Amino acid sequence: MHQILGRSSRPRPPHGRNDHQVSVREDTMATSNKSAASSSGTSGRKAAQRPTVRRVAIIGGNRIPFARSNGPYARASNQDMLTSALDGLVSRFSLQGERIGEFAAGAVLKHSRDFNLAREVVLGSKLAPESPASDVQMACGTGLQSIINVANKIALGQMDSAIAGGVDTTSDAPLALNDDLRKILVQLNAAKSNAERLKLVGKLRPGQIVPEMPRNAEPRTGLSMGEHAARTAEAWGLTREEQDELAATSHQRLAAAYDRGFYDDLVTPFQRLTRDQNLRADSTAEKLAKLKPVFGGENGTMTAANSTPLSDGASVVLLATEEWAKARKLPVLGYLTFTQTAAVDYVHGDEGLLMAPAYAVPRMLERAELSLQDFDYYEVHEAFASQVLCTLKAWEDAGFAKERLGLDAPLGSIDRDKLNVNGGSLAAGHPFAATGARIVATLAKQLAEKGSGRGLISICAAGGQGVTAIVEK
């Protein structure tokens, strides 16, 4: 389900259109609208089975300040943080005791006790306990994918309201038992005699007591996300200077947005933190140039400053129909219109782990009949400064357009003054599943402030995947 609803603005000519890429979802919507228009010639029952596609409004968002790993939120669980973010949203829009259509959220790092995380959060929140909930997991794309899942249900008339987002804590990351130890413990639990138990205990070895620590590495390659990104940065010829400049700009813009009150109705305090802990308002490219590389070896260009830190935090967004919002006298910030997911073969092919958005965006633009330049704002997730810059370079590259995208011409460049105008993940931090809702709420509010316009969202994710979306006002 890639097209959420019909676009409200005048279409532009498609860029490098290939008809075979038009989604089934788009064709289905066209059929649904035609059926509804001709329903006078059918029975009432048949007409009711062919719902029209409704516009999905973004009403607002809320998050807690993002914190560095093992910092202010060291003792907070995923459930604690996500409940706080949700209750902040509930209070802001006076939804106490109200039953919403669905709450969808997820986390990348989850304890077994969090098998039903979203539902447990609802039960501990100020929402009506009759509000259903679902868990979603798509690595760093979890938050945006959660939003897309419920937005499609609203568009198809299955419900009128929903809240979606995500949470993650690297401070409370689950530790796995050594697999041999786990098997012995399972057998001990099933043992029927002391003799059996003693025999099993005799199999224990000191090395089995050490837990398996969580690793930020791709299972298929054994390389961390940063190591993968460093390879891609080298392949695209990125300089240290341009990465540091992007990182410094992210901090400066986030600080400016906080100072002008932009985040006053998007962030609620948690554990005495009122702003993102990673924010360094005085960051400059010159200061960042003094740091040593952490990825890519001694001559690498990626540092702790131009890479996102391990972070803790939660974020949610309220979505609804226009009618639902109007009945509650709630303003609409914008509308979610088109979305697209993509994946790349970073294991057997030569594509970078985080380059899937470079493929998802042109496919989405084709269906939306837009060019890359038809946007007022661009929100490109800053997993690493190098990842953002590689994606932008790919869209500008004629060879990439022809050989990888099958286009006659590249998508072209964007106005950097429109990129992450209120700061990005390099400054705010990146609690994996929480980033999507942070970006959607930020972009929707920016469009509402402008009064009209269109914004593009691009989020890379582990596993070689990417999630993208268009928000319009």
99-129 per-position pLDDT tens digit? 999 999 999 999 889 999 999 999 999 999 9
Which residues have a catalytic role annotated? 140, 430, 460
Do 331 and 191 lie in one domain? The reply is no
Last-in-domain residue among 212, 236, 263? 212
Asked if residue 92 belongs to a domain, the reply is yes
Do 184 and 283 lie in one domain? The reply is no
Do 83 and 206 lie in one domain? The reply is no
Counting Cα atoms < 13 Å in the Cβ hemisphere of 416 gives: 9
Do 295 and 436 lie in one domain? The reply is yes
Give the pLDDT band (50/70/90) at residue 159: very high
Count CB-CB contacts under 10 A for residue 54. Answer: 17
Residue ranges making up the domain that contains 289? 56-173+220-472
The model carries a pTM of 0.87
Do 107 and 192 lie in one domain? The reply is no
Is the model's pLDDT at 38 over the cut of 70?
A: no
15, 21, 444 from 374: Cα distances, Å:
11, 20, 16
Mean pLDDT of the chain: 90
Is the model's pLDDT at 11 over the cut of 50?
A: no
323-344 per-position pLDDT tens digit? 999 999 999 999 999 999 999 9
Count CB-CB contacts under 10 A for residue 138. Answer: 26
Cα 226 to Cα 153: distance, rounded to the nearest angstrom = 36
Do 316 and 463 lie in one domain? The reply is yes
Do 376 and 320 lie in one domain? The reply is yes
Asked if residue 46 belongs to a domain, the reply is no
Asked if residue 44 belongs to a domain, the reply is no
